[in-house]
């Protein structure tokens, strides 16, 4: 989770630093007063001193911007420890207009799941204690470290002696904080606290923490229709694309009662699909990237209008039929029909029509179901032979009928 507090500095003509909560601190203030969650400032010659309180294990970074648009880091960032931190902005007072803020990020803990710890240690008496020391592997760029494991088991009977079991594991995590591998051992390649791409690992107490920057809104979003889907592409704006855990694609109908469409694409992908487009509907499409640092702003919206419905669905496949709830009188037997979804054409399937035919008399009975339903039932006598077919419908009309499936009487 990330919280952001902003303040503003204007050159020469403004004698105060304006803070987000309406709090103002004079440049010449002899003491620093920091509101809860706030940022305070004092002047020292041409330098600006920024002050903020910290809390463990959050990670704090001061950033600056000339227009509240693009933000850049003023310092590498530091773990919180419950103290007040100070950052010096050299020659800030004699510079042009600038805005400052600090970003407080809640890091991800790099730990070994207890089930995996047990598979290495072989014991768990009231839980397994972990002591983690980690950094970035310079060869793979992935978080890597040693996890020391221990658990203490009480001796049995009166006067029993407790036994402490110990082991160590070399663990590799991905940039979402998930374990990739864990093997017994104590030796790893040299590790560093940063990977040169803005990602940071720091060790505090018994835990290692991973911090990755908050992503910026993706750019270069495009969308092209294929069938009843948009194929969406985008360009992430993160220094390390591997930090992206998932992206959210959203298609918002414009001046239409059609539903909002969303899809989540996992991992650092740069393309994905938005499904079930309504025909001749204008959608506003955005993409947002997610890392463990938080969610980016949505991309600049683009508008795309879907094609008219001209292609009906394909025939459903995988049609099956079985008997259920057999009635000895033959009056309330249940024929259960099921099928696999049809390929939708260039608009979504809105309904299915299922038809059963008494092959002895050629009489038929049909039912329709919503386009998301793939099963239905009929109450009929089980004595005749029955055949079952399915047919899909969309805004372009009815598609072809499926192959018939026969279900003999019992």
Per residue, the 3-state secondary structure of the chain, as one string, reads CEEEEEEEECCCCCCEEEECCCCEEECCCCCCCCCCCCCEEEEECCEEEEEEECCCCCEEEEEEECCCCCCEECCCCEECCCCEEEEEECCCCCCCCEEEEEEEECCEEECCCHHHHHHHHCCCCCCCEEEEEEEECCCCCCEEEEEEEEEEECCCCCCCCCEEEEEEEEEEECCCCCEEEEEECCCCCCCECECCCCCEEEEECCEEEEECCCCEEEEEEEEEEECCEEEEEEEEECCCHHHCCEEEEEEEECCCCCCCEEEEEECCCCEEEECCCCCCCEEEEEEEEEECCEECCCCCCEEEECCCCCCCCCCCEEEEEEEECCCCCCCCCEEEEEEECCCCCCCCCCEEEEEEEECCCCCEEEEEEECCCCEEEEECCCCCCEEEEEEEEECCEEEEECCCEEECCC
Q: What is the pLDDT of residue 159?
A: 67
Q: What is the mean pLDDT of residues 317-339?
A: 84
CATH of range 216-305; options 3.30.429.10, 2.60.40.10, 3.90.1640.10, 3.10.290.10: 2.60.40.10
Domain 317-407: CATH architecture, name and number where available: Sandwich (2.60)
Least confident stretch, 13-22, 163-172, 221-230: 13-22
**359, two tokens:** 């092959």
- Kindly tell me the sign of the dihedral angle through the C-alpha atoms of 209, 104, 33, 65: positive
Residue % of the chain over a pLDDT of 70: 88
Mean pLDDT to the nearest integer, 94-116: 88
User: In this predicted structure, what is the pLDDT of residue 197?
Assistant: 92
What pLDDT is stored for residue 30 in this prediction?
Answer: 34
Mean pLDDT (the chain, rounded): 87
Residue range(s) of every CATH 2.60.40.10 domain in the chain? 216-305, 317-407
Find out whether 375 and 383 touch, Cβ atoms under 8 Å. no
Query: How far apart are alpha carbons 341 and 319 in whole angstroms?
Result: 10
Q: State how far Cα 6 lies from the chain centre.
A: 27
Cβ atoms of 399 and 312 closer than 8 Å: yes
Q: Which residue has the higher pLDDT, 73 or 136?
A: 136
Mean pLDDT value of segment 134-144: 95
- Cα separation, 130 vs 203, whole angstroms: 13
Query: Could you tell me the two tokens for 151?
Result: 């658990």
**Local confidence band at 26 (pLDDT 50, 70, 90 cut-offs):** very low
What pLDDT score was predicted for residue 42? 86
In this prediction, residue 1 carries a pLDDT of: 53
**pLDDT (0 to 100) of residue 407:** 86
Q: Between 318 and 215, name the one with better pLDDT.
A: 318
Rounded to a whole number of angstroms, the CA Rg of the chain reads 31
Which one is predicted more confidently, 273 or 34? 273
Higher pLDDT: 218 or 35? It is 218
Which tokens hold the place of 64?
């600056």
Inter-residue contact 260 to 251 (CB < 8 Å): yes
Asked if residues 149 and 167 have their Cβ atoms less than 8 Å apart, the reply is yes
ω into 327 cis (within 30 of 0): no
**Per-residue confidence at 272, pLDDT binned at 50, 70, 90?**
very high
Complete edge-to-edge strand list for the sheet that includes strand 317-324:
317-324, 334-340, 375-379
The residues with which 327 forms a beta bridge, in sequence order, are none
- Provide the pLDDT for residue 395: 95
Q: What is the pLDDT of residues 276-320, one digit of tens each?
A: 999 999 999 999 999 998 999 999 999 999 999 999 999 999 999
Contact (CB, 8 A) for 277 and 256: no
Rounded Cα–Cα distance for residues 197 and 195 (Å): 5
pLDDT at residue number 10: 30
Whether the per-residue pLDDT at 226 is higher than 70: the answer is yes
C-beta atoms surrounding 137 within 10 Å: 18
Name the burial class of residue 209, with classes exposed (0-12), middle (13-18) and buried (19+) by CB atoms within 10 angstroms of its CB. Answer: buried
Mean pLDDT of 213-242: 95
Mean pLDDT computed over 99-119: 92
Name the more confident of 376 and 100.
376
Task: Kindly tell me if the per-residue pLDDT of 29 is higher than 70.
Answer: no
202 pairs with which residues across the strands?
A: 209
Instruction: Calculate mean pLDDT across residues 326-346.
Output: 84
Strand partners, 61: 103
Please give the pLDDT value at position 64: 86
Answer whether residue 115 shows pLDDT above 70: yes
pLDDT at position 28 is: 34
Share above pLDDT 90 across residues of the chain, in percent, rounded to a whole number: 65
């Amino acid at each position: 989770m990330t919280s952001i507090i902003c303040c503003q500095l204007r050159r020469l003509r403004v004698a105060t630093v304006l803070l987000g909560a309406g709090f103002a601190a004079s440049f010449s203030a002899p003491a620093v007063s920091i509101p809860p969650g706030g940022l305070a400032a004092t002047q020292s010659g041409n330098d600006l001193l920024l002050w903020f309180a910290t809390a463990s294990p959050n990670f704090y970074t001061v950033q600056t911007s000339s227009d509240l648009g693009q933000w850049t880091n003023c310092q590498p960032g530091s773990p919180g420890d419950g103290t007040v931190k100070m950052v010096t902005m050299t020659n800030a007072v004699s510079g042009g207009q600038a805005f400052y803020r600090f970003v407080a990020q809640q890091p991800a803990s790099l730990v070994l799941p207890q089930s995996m710890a047990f598979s290495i240690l072989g014991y768990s008496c009231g839980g397994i204690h972990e002591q983690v020391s980690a950094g970035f592997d310079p060869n793979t760029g992935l978080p890597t470290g040693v996890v020391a494991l221990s658990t203490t088991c009480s001796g049995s009977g009166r006067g029993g002696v407790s036994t402490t079991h110990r082991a160590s594991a070399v663990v590799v995590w991905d940039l979402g904080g998930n374990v990739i591998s864990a093997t017994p051992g104590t030796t790893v390649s040299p590790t560093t606290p940063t990977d040169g791409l803005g990602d940071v690992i720091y060790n505090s107490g018994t835990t290692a923490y991973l911090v990755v920057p908050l992503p910026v809104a993706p750019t270069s979003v495009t969308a092209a229709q294929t069938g009843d889907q948009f194929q969406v592409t985008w360009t992430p704006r993160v220094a390390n694309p591997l930090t992206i855990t998932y992206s959210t694609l959203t298609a918002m109908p414009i001046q239409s009662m059609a539903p909002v469409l969303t899809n989540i694409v996992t991992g650092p992908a740069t393309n994905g699909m938005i499904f079930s487009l309504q025909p001749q509907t204008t959608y506003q499409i955005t993409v947002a990237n997610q890392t463990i640092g938080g969610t980016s702003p949505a991309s600049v919206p683009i508008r795309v209008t879907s094609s008219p419905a001209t292609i009906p669905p394909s025939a459903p496949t995988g049609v099956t039929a079985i008997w259920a709830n057999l009635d000895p009188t033959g009056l309330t037997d249940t024929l259960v029909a099921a099928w696999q979804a049809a390929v939708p054409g260039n608009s979504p399937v809105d309904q299915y029509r299922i038809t059963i035919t008494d092959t002895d008399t050629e009489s038929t009975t049909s039912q329709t179901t919503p386009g998301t339903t793939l099963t239905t039932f009929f109450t009929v006598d089980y004595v005749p032979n029955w055949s079952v077919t399915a047919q899909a419908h969309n805004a372009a009309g009815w598609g072809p009928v499926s192959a018939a499936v026969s279900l003999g009487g019992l």
